[in-house]
Amino acid sequence: MNFLKYLQEQKFLMLFYVLLMVFISSVIFLDGAVRISLGNILYINLVSIVFFIIYLCGKYLYFRSYYKALKDIIDTQDNELINRIPEPKSYSQELFYNLLRKIYDEQSLKIQKLYDNKKDNEEFITSWVHQIKTPIAVSRLLMENNTNKNNSDVLLSLEEELDKIDNYVEQALYNSKTDDFSKDYLINEVSLDRVVKDTVKKHAKNFINKKISVEIKDTELIVLTDKKWLSFILEQILSNSLKYTDRSGKIGIYGVKETKLQKLVIQDNGIGIAREDLIRVFDKGFTGYNGRQNYKSTGMGLYLSKKLALKLGHDIVIESEQGKYTKVTIIFPKLLDYLDVSRYNQK
């Protein structure tokens, strides 16, 4: 606290002192029984003012270290600020300190309770995801061992539903990991071509069943990313393209190399996205016109893709025209720019 602000804080005390001294001086000067000259009255006022100034300065010096410590705490970044508050030097400061301590303890208990609940929920989700993967894998194995012409259509439908379940399970798992992202990723050089082809291969049956052709070109790029998380992002985008592209449609996947950027573009000639929905496609739980009218959609795929891409230092943009096409672009900064972008997005 500087001296000027301190004086402003003491303005009522200073006003009270002035009024008091004017009253006392007036009484002494006007009292006929007491003969005191005007010079003596002025001398008394001067001495009183000097003592009052000494009092104000002494009080300022006494509390200056306390206020300076509070100012330093406000200006710093620390999770344990309450432990750095200096010892109170007056009764009012002690009351405020005890009030802050009580508020801090109550909020700490609430935060700890929320943290414990969140941790229990994450452990449950993770356990549930791993448990449900077992019956999915067994179901796929039974389908492969019992394929025949009589029930091929039934098995095909069952496989499609299992693919949906598998995708929703993956979404739940990755969503539970986003808050602890820094503990489960490794940035290194990854072949974009390999990731793209593995993802397309995973959805090969969907391409065949819907007779959708796929064209892959110029994907021989090396990008800095985490392969597992990028694969999940690409799977969500490709699943959407397959879902919203009609039979005998076409999906193109190609890479673009620029001076400071590398891009992966996934474009389909499907039903497209309404103009009013484009600005909201990355919102959590937003399904849009297409999701509400024609398909069962959770609205989580693109939300998670965008969130994870930003954490990796990438970005995702979407262009679309309803009834004609949808174009999704994943943007990868080059090495020098990646360090700055990823550091910013992981704050």
CATH (residue range 185-345): 3.30.565.10
Spatial separation of the C-alpha atoms in residues 260 and 273, rounded to whole Å: 29
Q: In the chain, where are the structural domains located? A: 3-86, 185-345
From the list 330, 326, 300, the residue with the least C-alpha distance to 315 is 330
> What's 88's DSSP letter?
P
Spatial separation of the C-alpha atoms in residues 235 and 105, rounded to whole Å: 45
Here the tokens at position 5 are 């602000």
Count the helices and strands in the chain (H runs, E runs). 12, 7
H helix or E strand, kind and range, residue 321: strand 315-321
From the list 298, 278, 291, 178, the residue with the least C-alpha distance to 232 is 178
pLDDT at residue 184 in the model? 65
Quick one: how far is CA 57 from the chain centroid?
48
pLDDT at residue 209 in the model? 83
pLDDT along the chain (347 residues), means of 10: 77 90 85 76 89 89 81 71 74 83 87 80 70 73 66 66 75 70 75 94 86 93 91 91 90 92 94 89 78 62 88 92 93 66 46
Spatial separation of the C-alpha atoms in residues 239 and 170, rounded to whole Å: 12
pLDDT at residue 152 in the model? 63
